[in-house]
């Protein structure tokens, strides 16, 4: 099966009323863990690479690993997405490489740190939408800023998304999906206590969904940071301070209100680190990397499996045939004509 476009994958999720996990990767074991979990649960899935991941692995390695995944798991619809593109150039390089979806994060300037103003965000996002849609590639935009820093990305400052601005942003840019800031953060240290609905500003999601029922909403920084994963790391010599992530039940609440893509990165990092620490502690004489990478891969697979069931994507892999990017480009072209005609 060829890589599917994220737009089709999210449209189908919308029809089916479920969410789809978008898992970050930068190596072979992560991709294997995610694809195995997708096969076990028969789930469509989004695999995403940040700029940092593309640099770490070399993006041609990542792309060809994904091609291998599409070949080995032909029954699984999988979209390959650029996470937090910092500029139209970054998005273009991802599209040229074969990614089926890109995020243009114009909420920040191209240094990936300084908050940008609304007009800048509209301008760069619109530019990417024009370039991407012509080639059938999906675009995610971001309005508002998240807390925390992820792979060097982020201002560390939280600016919640304004629903009025969200409507204007989507109308002017034509994005397929919108990342909204509701008070979550990148990284492991999201909250100092278990967040409730108020801390999470879930009403923003409900409000935006009411006004933009056809825009797929995206929750970033949505690892749940399960206590057992943190405890395992600390039990084997780690030092992770007590911390809380986004509870799965709040994500499920979001899914009822138009959230279709849920970004999960930290939980896989925690799962693999715990498994590796445990393996090191239990057999200090072992030095074959497969000895500790196997349990690391299994631990990540378990987390992904569980999220796929919680988000509702499990069982939906066989629901549809992927459209080609060319077919998607034709659809965008038609929609564009209808919009200008009306
Ligand atoms: Zn993010």
Q: What is the pLDDT of residues 36-79, one digit of tens each?
A: 999 999 999 999 999 999 999 999 999 999 999 999 999 999 99
**Do residues 95 and 130 make contact, with C-beta atoms less than 8 angstroms apart?**
no
pTM of the model: 0.95
CA of 150 to the centre of ligand 1 (A): 7
Tokens representing residue 308 in the block: 């796929």
Distance CA 263, CA 261 (A): 7
Active site residue 231: no
Give the bridge partners for 145, in sequence order.
159
Residue in the block written with tokens 């989507």: 170
SS percent in the chain: helix, strand, coil, step 5:
50, 15, 35
CA of 157 to the centre of ligand 1 (A): 13
Predicted pLDDT of residue 151: 63
- Encode pLDDT of 276-321 as tens digits: 999 999 999 999 999 999 999 999 999 999 999 999 999 999 999 9
CA of 324 to the centre of ligand 1 (A): 27
For residue 18, CA distances in Å to 72, 169, 217, 252, 333 come to 25, 25, 12, 9, 27
Predicted pLDDT of residue 150: 63
Predicted pLDDT of residue 186: 85
Predicted pLDDT of residue 101: 98
CA of 230 to the centre of ligand 1 (A): 21
CA of 258 to the centre of ligand 1 (A): 18
Predicted pLDDT of residue 196: 76
Question: Within the chain, which residues score under 50 in pLDDT?
Answer: 342
CA of 84 to the centre of ligand 1 (A): 6
Cβ-proximal residues to 302 (8 Å cutoff; 6+ apart), any chain: 37, 271
Predicted pLDDT of residue 341: 58
Predicted pLDDT of residue 1: 63
Predicted pLDDT of residue 149: 65
Cβ-in-10-Å burial (0-12, 13-18, 19+) of 52 comes to middle
CB atoms within 10 A of CB 42: 16
Q: Which of 11, 83, 151, 176 is catalytic?
A: 83
Residue in the block written with tokens 């770490």: 56
CA of 187 to the centre of ligand 1 (A): 9
For residue 49, CA distances in Å to 16, 55, 143, 202 come to 26, 10, 20, 27
Predicted pLDDT of residue 146: 77
Distance CA 291, CA 200 (A): 40
């Amino acid at each position: 099966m060829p890589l599917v476009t994220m737009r089709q994958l999210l449209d189908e999720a919308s029809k089916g009323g479920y969410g789809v996990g978008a898992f970050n990767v930068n190596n072979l074991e992560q991709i294997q863990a995610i694809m195995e979990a997708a096969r076990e649960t028969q789930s469509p899935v989004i695999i995403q690479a940040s700029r940092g991941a593309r640099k770490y692995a070399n993006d041609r390695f990542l792309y060809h690993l994904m091609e291998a995944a599409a070949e080995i798991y032909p029954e699984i619809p999988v979209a390959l997405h650029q996470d937090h593109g910092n500029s139209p150039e970054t998005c273009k390089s991802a599209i040229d490489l074969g990614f089926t979806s890109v995020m243009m994060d114009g909420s920040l300037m191209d240094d990936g740190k300084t908050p940008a103003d609304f007009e800048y965000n509209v301008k760069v996002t619109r530019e990417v939408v024009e370039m991407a849609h012509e080639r059938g590639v999906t675009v995610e935009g971001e309005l508002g800023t998240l807390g925390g820093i992820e792979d060097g990305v982020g201002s560390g400052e939280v600016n919640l998304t304004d629903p009025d601005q969200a409507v204007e942003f989507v109308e002017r840019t034509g994005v397929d999906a919108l990342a909204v800031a509701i008070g979550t953060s990148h990284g492991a240290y999201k909250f100092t206590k278990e967040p409730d609905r108020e801390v999470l500003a879930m009403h923003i999601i409900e409000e935006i969904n009411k006004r933009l029922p056809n825009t797929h909403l995206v929750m970033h920084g949505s690892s749940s940071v399960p206590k057992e994963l943190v405890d395992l790391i600390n039990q084997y010599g780690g030092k992770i301070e007590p911390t809380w992530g986004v509870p799965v039940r709040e994500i499920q609440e979001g899914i009822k209100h138009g959230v279709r893509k849920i970004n999960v990165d930290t939980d896989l990092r925690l799962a693999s680190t715990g498994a590796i620490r445990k393996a090191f502690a239990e057999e200090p004489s072992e030095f074959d990397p497969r000895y500790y990478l196997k349990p690391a891969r299994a631990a990540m697979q378990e987390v992904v499996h569980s999220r796929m069931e919680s988000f509702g994507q499990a069982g939906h892999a066989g629901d549809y045939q992927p459209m080609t990017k060319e077919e998607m480009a034709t659809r965008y072209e038609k929609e564009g004509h209808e919009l200008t005609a009306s």
